[in-house]
Amino acid sequence: MNLRRLVAVARKECLHVLRDSRALGIAIVLPMIMLMIFGYALTLDLDRVPLTVWDQSRTPQSRELVGRFEGSRYFSVVARAGSYGDVADAIDHGRVLMALVIPTDFGKRVASESKTQVQVLADGSDANTTTLAISYAESIVRTYSQEILVEKAKRMTGRAPTPPLELRPRAWFNADMESRIFIVPGLIAVIMMLITALLTSLTVAREWETGTMEQLISTPVRRSELILGKLAPYFVIGMVDMLLSVLAGRFLFAVPIRGSLLLLFSVSAIYLVGALALGIFISTMAKSQLLASQAAFVATFLPAFLLSGFMFDIGNMPKPMQIVTYFIPARYFVTFLRGLYLKGTGLAQLWPECLLMTAFGALMLLLAIRSFKKRLA
């Protein structure tokens, strides 16, 4: 391999990138736009669920229960119903997700320490959201019921009962249970895979479409020198994008980095090499910028978004799909970033992911070099 020829190819590609404002816009601006949009729009937190209340009892006991819902961060009482027709209308028109129906004899039965019931009606269109909302409602009602039992025991025995078992939960690594701490590291992996592969997917195809490939073929530049030379400028851009993404995650989304920054950027470089080489491999096979960009999107964004564990738990997928995820490099980078960001783990725990990403990068480089033919089709 001749270093002089490699640098010449890299210089030529750098000049093209600098002269093409659209390419620079895609390379620098688009990752930040995607990070902002997805970072603020994607959330797994369920807060302020719109709730309507039909309080048929209108007693201090029923108002106490409604107050529990109003004081919870998970619910927002947005309407008061006067009948089941009002409840159905509010749910049908999407004004509320859930309705709380308190029966007429609620206050009397609670005061007499008799067993009573309240009804919760929920829009089950979104099963996951509704399941969470119902569990929050059950928790509020259960707490209210336990307090009634405690007051009853106090009156009978003169002291509060001691529960035989007490659960004291403690969440490690994300004590406030904020979904952005979990989403942003995975989002960085997905965006980097898409952007870098998309950029390099146009390089070789552009040479064919503009007619400059014949000139490159006639030069003594070897296949490896041409591929690595074209990859080098986009590698620098990819690392700049990675730096900007890390800074945005830290200062815009307040996502702490508990692991080593040196390890973060070292492994990111390996991941980017694989993604860039994948883009060049697609470009050498497509020979059309439109086809190459479409193939790069399908081969990177969709698998990284759906099958990497970024949004959907791999353990809940069907077994055949779980096997497919082992061939998605973003799966390993998502695991690496979350381990480093949230837990502060290092190579001692994450070496399998680093090794597999290294193997992916080497394989993609080899395929990109082998697939390029120095002859006219």
Asked whether residue 5 carries a pLDDT value surpassing 80, the answer given is no
DSSP codes joined into one string, 213-265: HHHHHHSS--HHHHHHHHHHHHHHHHHHHHHHHHHHHHHTS-----S-HHHHH
Residue pair 192/43 in contact (Cβ under 8 Å)? The answer is: no
Confidence (pLDDT) at 120: 92
Q: d(Cα 98, Cα 54) in Å, to the nearest integer? A: 11
Q: Residue 349 contacts by C-beta under 8 Å, 6 or more apart in sequence?
A: 339
Asked whether residue 376 carries a pLDDT value surpassing 60, the answer given is no
Q: What is the pLDDT of residues 119-133, one digit of tens each?
A: 999 998 888 888 889
Residue 52 sits at φ, ψ, to 5 deg, of: -110, 145
More confident residue, 105 or 375: 105
Q: Using alpha carbons, select from 272, 268, 270, 260 the residue that is nearest to residue 349.
A: 260
Task: Provide, rounded to the nearest whole percent, the portion of the chain with pLDDT above 70.
Answer: 94
Q: Residue 58 contacts by C-beta under 8 Å, 6 or more apart in sequence?
A: 107
Confidence (pLDDT) at 327: 92
Mean pLDDT of 306-323: 89
Asked whether residue 221 carries a pLDDT value surpassing 90, the answer given is no
Mean pLDDT value across the chain: 85
- CB neighbourhood size of 114 (10 A): 9
Q: What is the pLDDT of residues 250-280, one digit of tens each?
A: 998 888 889 899 999 999 999 999 999 998 8
Confidence (pLDDT) at 266: 94
Confidence (pLDDT) at 311: 82
Residue pair 94/125 in contact (Cβ under 8 Å)? The answer is: no
Confidence (pLDDT) at 200: 82
Confidence (pLDDT) at 222: 79
CA–chain centroid gap for 166, Å, is 34
Domains of the chain: 3-43+178-371 (no CATH), 49-157 (3.40.1710.10)
Asked whether residue 4 carries a pLDDT value surpassing 80, the answer given is no
Q: Residue 173 contacts by C-beta under 8 Å, 6 or more apart in sequence?
A: 258, 342, 343
Q: Residue 219 contacts by C-beta under 8 Å, 6 or more apart in sequence?
A: 5
Residue pair 306/256 in contact (Cβ under 8 Å)? The answer is: no
CA separation, residue 242 to residues 7, 18, 193 (Å) = 23, 19, 11
Asked whether residue 232 carries a pLDDT value surpassing 60, the answer given is yes
Asked whether residue 295 carries a pLDDT value surpassing 70, the answer given is yes
In this prediction, residue 136 has a pLDDT band, given cuts at 50, 70 and 90, of: very high
* ∠ CA 30-34-35, rounded to 5°: 115
DSSP lists the bridge partners of residue 53 as: 80, 100
Q: What is the pLDDT of residues 174-216, one digit of tens each?
A: 877 788 888 899 899 988 888 888 888 877 777 776 766 666 6
In this prediction, residue 54 has a pLDDT band, given cuts at 50, 70 and 90, of: very high
Task: Please give the span between the terminal C-alpha atoms of the chain, in angstroms, as a whole number.
Answer: 25
Confidence (pLDDT) at 332: 94
Residue pair 195/238 in contact (Cβ under 8 Å)? The answer is: yes
Asked whether residue 290 carries a pLDDT value surpassing 70, the answer given is yes
Asked whether residue 101 carries a pLDDT value surpassing 90, the answer given is yes
In this prediction, residue 150 has a pLDDT band, given cuts at 50, 70 and 90, of: confident
DSSP letter, residue 374: S
Q: d(Cα 196, Cα 272) in Å, to the nearest integer? A: 7
User: Residue 32: which H helix or E strand, with range?
Assistant: helix 30-41
Q: d(Cα 146, Cα 160) in Å, to the nearest integer? A: 12
Instruction: List strands edge to edge, sheet with 75-80.
Output: 75-80, 49-55, 98-102, 119-122
Mean pLDDT of 350-373: 90
Give the tokens for residue 140.
């509020």
Mean pLDDT of 55-76: 90
What are the E-state strand segments in the chain?
49-55, 75-80, 98-102, 119-122
Q: d(Cα 182, Cα 42) in Å, to the nearest integer? A: 11
Mean pLDDT of 139-160: 82
Confidence (pLDDT) at 216: 66
Q: What 3-state DSSP class applies to 274?
A: helix
Of the given ranges (1-5, 221-225, 367-371), which has the lowest mean pLDDT? Answer: 1-5
Residue pair 22/69 in contact (Cβ under 8 Å)? The answer is: no
Give the tokens for residue 52.
């309507």
Asked whether residue 218 carries a pLDDT value surpassing 80, the answer given is no
Confidence (pLDDT) at 214: 64
Q: What is the pLDDT of residues 152-168, one digit of tens each?
A: 777 777 777 777 777 78
